[in-house]
Amino acid sequence: MELTDRYIHAVTRQLPAAQRDDVARELRATIEDTLSEGDVDESAVLQQLGDPSILAQRYGAKQTYLIGPDYFPEYRTVLKVLLPAVVALFAILSVIDGWSAERDTGDVLLDVLKTSLVAAGQVVFWTTLGFAIAERTGSQALAATSWSPQDLPAAEPARQIGKFDALAGAAMALFVPIAVIVVPRRLDRLHPDGIQFFNPDLSTWWLFGLIGIFVLFALHQIWQYTVGRWTTPLMTSLIVLNGIWLTYLLALLLGQDVVNPAWLAHEVPDMTEQVKRWIIGSVLATAVIITVIEVAEAVRGNQRLDSAER
């Protein structure tokens, strides 16, 4: 009965612990009944019962897939968009980085390859993780909400948000944190006295915050790309995101010195306090203006769609 033991184990190990013994006992009795009845051998009986994984699934074993059919199309779209964009971006950046440091072409190419692979791995990992979580938490919520014809997207303005605009926006959003990391490092390396550009007292959390916010901006752009038109969830989340961004910027710029005071003293010794305040003010004003334009576009797009539907 060694095969039977193995078969039963293969089935029950995939089931919730509470069911295991009961299912095992019943399966064993069935197999023994079948064997005692006719002149069939053990392996033929097990063959008849079929693949243990399939039997376990019929018994209601946990899903054995990472991303199911509900999410797979979106998963594929996101990867298709994100993978080439991010890999290209990192490849270009590492080329720029290598050349400006005057390194050998071979080294630079090796670096490009390494960076691209790492970037691709990161994109695939995080996208897969995100969708796997959605698969495990979201699918029931999706199935539970009842559908009504009102949910149908408007047929007329099929695409309000240009594909290119959305993708360029996503690339831009990813470019900002990378530029903030790479450019000052370049400056630091070129600086004759080795004075850092950013204030060394600045907590790294500010950097993580920046990366987080801009990754969210990039994801939002991809969402805009997939939906293609302004909807209320898209609009509200954009407003919330911009609110977070402005709060972050305000707290960052007004709370502490972002640029190293020593660097400023070295590079622009005659900068007055007033000029500094003026620069901070104009950075903030620019951010606010961009936000207002973006939000206005989203709100208008959403309203237009509403009135078109009525």
List the one residue out of 223, 226, 243, 242 whose CA is nearest residue 234: 223
Number of residues that bind other proteins (CB under 8 A): 19
Does 49 interact with other proteins (rule: CB under 8 A)?
yes
> Mask 52-81, x = binds other proteins (CB under 8 A)?
--xx--xxx---------------------
Closest approach of other proteins to the CB of residue 293, in Å = 56
Closest approach of other proteins to the CB of residue 14, in Å = 12
Sign of CA dihedral 40, 41, 45, 51: negative
Closest approach of other proteins to the CB of residue 129, in Å = 31
Q: Which of 48, 53, 256, 282 binds other proteins (CB under 8 A)?
A: 48
β-bridge mates for residue 259, sequence order: 198
DSSP state, 104? Answer: -
Does 29 interact with other proteins (rule: CB under 8 A)?
yes
With CB under 8 A as the contact rule, which of the stretches 50-58, 122-130, 182-190, 266-274 interacts with other proteins? 50-58
Closest approach of other proteins to the CB of residue 55, in Å = 5
Q: Which of 4, 10, 20, 23 binds other proteins (CB under 8 A)?
A: 23
Does 50 interact with other proteins (rule: CB under 8 A)?
yes
Q: Which of 12, 14, 27, 219 binds other proteins (CB under 8 A)?
A: 27
Long-range Cβ contacts of 59-63 (<8 Å, 24+ apart): 59/11, 59/15, 59/19, 59/23, 60/15, 61/14, 61/15, 62/14, 62/16, 63/135
Q: Which of 5, 22, 41, 107 binds other proteins (CB under 8 A)?
A: 22
C-alpha span between 91 and 85 (Å, rounded): 10
Q: 34 or 139, CB closer to other proteins?
A: 34
Q: 60 or 84, CB closer to other proteins?
A: 60
Closest approach of other proteins to the CB of residue 30, in Å = 5
Amino acid letter for position 291: T
**Residue whose pair of structure tokens reads 């559908």 in the numeric block:** 147
Does 243 interact with other proteins (rule: CB under 8 A)?
no
Closest approach of other proteins to the CB of residue 142, in Å = 23
- Which residues within the stretch 254-293 sit at the binding site for other proteins (CB under 8 A)? none
Closest approach of other proteins to the CB of residue 310, in Å = 43
C-alpha span between 55 and 205 (Å, rounded): 50
C-alpha span between 81 and 167 (Å, rounded): 8
DSSP state, 270? Answer: T
Listed in sequence order, the DSSP H helices in the chain are 2-12, 17-37, 42-49, 52-58, 72-100, 105-144, 163-190, 204-227, 232-255, 261-267, 273-309
Does 24 interact with other proteins (rule: CB under 8 A)?
no
Q: 28 or 304, CB closer to other proteins?
A: 28
With CB under 8 A as the contact rule, which of the stretches 51-59, 117-125, 153-161, 207-215 interacts with other proteins? 51-59
Does 32 interact with other proteins (rule: CB under 8 A)?
yes
Long-range Cβ contacts of 25-33 (<8 Å, 24+ apart): 28/4, 31/4, 31/7
C-alpha span between 175 and 91 (Å, rounded): 12
Interacting residue ranges for other proteins, rule: CB under 8 A:
19, 22-23, 25-27, 29-30, 32-34, 48-50, 54-55, 58-60
